[in-house]
Amino acid sequence: MIRIVTIEREYGSGAAEIAEMLAQQLGWKLWDKDLTAEIAKMANCRRSAVEEREERLDPLYYRLTRSFWRGSHEGSIAVDPLQMLDADSIVRFSEKIVNRAAAEGNCVLVGRGSQHFLQDRDDTLRFFFYAPREDKVERLVRQGTVRKNAEQLIDTVDRERAAFIKTFFHVEWPDRNVYHAMMNTASGDAAVVRAVLSFMQTEPAKRAA
């Protein structure tokens, strides 16, 4: 019985909106922004700080600064939580929250490595959403992003996600072997939700095939 859906995505493909629609139709818990909020709570820092760092590697200057800071303050007094927030700690927190959400079940998880953390569970379906470049640009523009910025973000965010996945999960992004299906969201959000729901109702043997 399927109790969990994970959604990995290209930036601008509409995964957040589709995941919200899917969770509402299923009556399940959506873990997207709430996942970020839980990471921030565990790290004892602002949610905006997590948003700036999740699903990407630490910049070189940040790694060097942290290394120096740790060496200079080894065993010293109170540590600023923000100084301790890096990609490694975010991944550890993410894994704990994702596994806790999976244990509770009836949830839709968006990104944050959830497809890899839960890839061995039989009660989980894993999807990857993508779309043509222009469709992604147009979606972001409709949401208020300047076109030039939208075009840059589509490239940079996905490049950062690919580097993040390769570093922490040792696979190329997207790793086609981990997904039950990869869906083009250009067909429309409602159509994608219907396809996911239909897929969930398919017999396990047919899904495996």
Cα gap 142→46, rounded to integer Å: 28
103-152 confidence digits (pLDDT tens): 999 999 999 999 999 999 999 999 999 999 999 999 999 999 999 999 99
86-115 confidence digits (pLDDT tens): 999 999 999 999 999 999 999 999 999 999
136: CB partners within 8 A, 6+ apart: 10, 11, 12, 13, 150, 154
CB 169 within 8 A of CB 175: yes
33-87 confidence digits (pLDDT tens): 999 999 999 999 999 999 999 999 986 444 444 544 445 444 444 444 445 689 9
Q: Which residues pair with 184 in a beta bridge?
A: 130
- The pLDDT, as a whole number, for residue 206 is 55
- The pLDDT, as a whole number, for residue 80 is 46
Burial of 76 (0-12, 13-18, 19+ CB in 10 A): exposed
- The pLDDT, as a whole number, for residue 85 is 84
CB 178 within 8 A of CB 126: yes
The first and second tokens of residue 131, run together, are: 């779309």
Domains and CATH numbers, the chain: 4-208 (3.40.50.300)
- The pLDDT, as a whole number, for residue 58 is 82
The pLDDT of 165-185, averaged and rounded, is: 97
Cα R_g (the chain), whole angstroms: 18
pLDDT-derived band of residue 207, with 50, 70 and 90 as boundaries?
low
Work out the mean pLDDT of the chain and round it to a whole number: 89
Tell me the whole-structure pTM to 2 decimals: 0.86
- The pLDDT, as a whole number, for residue 203 is 55
